[in-house]
Amino acid sequence: MTEVQPSFITPLVESDPRLVQFGRVSVAHQYTSSGTETVNYGNVHGLGIIAANRYEFDVIQPAYIQHNSAAADGFGDTTISAKARIVSGNAQHGNYIVSALLGHTFATGSYKNGALTDSFSPTVAAALGIKKRFDVESTLGGAMPTGKIAAQGRSIAWNALTQFHANPHVWLELENNATFYFSGSHDGKMQNFVTPAVFYVARRSSWKPTHPFWIVNGGMQIATSGFHTCNHNLIAETRLIF
């Protein structure tokens, strides 16, 4: 894939426009708007497999959600998604990529830890490298439940970020994550997070693009909008890219 797409790093929150083969373990620790401490073991990440030159398929297992309150702990929903690389070029040929993604979430959550119905999430993602150390990326997508719209509503998510490749092992990132709500209990509202993150890439000195490598990374979503369902969402991850 390094011959046909940029060599960036997968963002902490935003979807990656590139095709990447990975195993990803993530834990999120946040405080709800009422001040309740919630821990999400899984955090909507899982396994991604490149199936062909232009396609990737992801399977995201149900996360386990610990509320630390009267709400019942339990497992969340299951998601599968497909990604298609529309057009791209590596560092010698423009250093850019545009992709389309389509996810389907199955309402498998227990004890009200998931959605009321299944939903689809179409997304367009793009990225551009600037010189040798910087890149900018953005995604635009939405959540479309298959039923009970009045209760669940719909949403549009717009994410934008910049990354800085500080040295061979360290990447720095600053994301902006905005969600706009339509219908449902949050109708007409918007929540926004600013998300700084850091990534450490562990790989040997003789590493080549065909070799696997580990990434350890973390960051925090900080609410900057008056309305927000959670705040100070600390995310810690480890990834195997293969």
Per-residue three-class SS string for the chain: CCCCCCCCCCCCCCCCCCCCCEEEEEEEEEEECCCCEEEEECCCCCEEEEEECCEEEEEECCCEEECCCCCCCEECCEEEEEEEEEEEECCCCCCEEEEEEEEEEECCCCCCCCCCCCEEEEEEEEEEEECCCEEEEEEEEEEEECCCHHHHCEEEEEEEEEEEECCCCEEEEEEEEEEEEECCCCCCCEEEEEEEEEEEEECCCCCCCCCCEEEEEEEEEEECCCCCCEEEEEEEEEEEEC
Length of the chain: 242
Give the pLDDT of residue 209: 78
Higher pLDDT, 162 or 168: 162
pTM value surpassing 0.85: yes
Percent of the chain residues past pLDDT 90, beyond the cut: 91
The pLDDT assigned to 242 comes to 92
Burial class (CB in 10 A: 0-12, 13-18, 19+), 195: buried
d(CA 133, CA 163) in angstroms, rounded, equals 8
pLDDT for res 2? 86
pLDDT(33) > 90: no
Q: How confident is the model at residue 34 (pLDDT cuts 50, 70, 90)?
A: confident
- In this model, does residue 205 exceed pLDDT 90? no
Domain ranges of the chain: 22-241
pLDDT tops 90 at residue 210:
no
pLDDT(207) > 90: no
Q: What's the whole-number average pLDDT of the chain?
A: 96
**Does residue 207 or residue 103 have the better pLDDT?**
103
Question: CA–CA separation, 26 vs 32, rounded Å?
Answer: 19
Q: pLDDT tens-digit profile of 93-123?
A: 999 999 999 999 999 999 999 999 999 999 9
Q: In terms of CATH architecture, what is 22-241?
A: Beta Barrel (2.40)
Instruction: Say yes or no to pLDDT of 225 above 90.
Output: yes
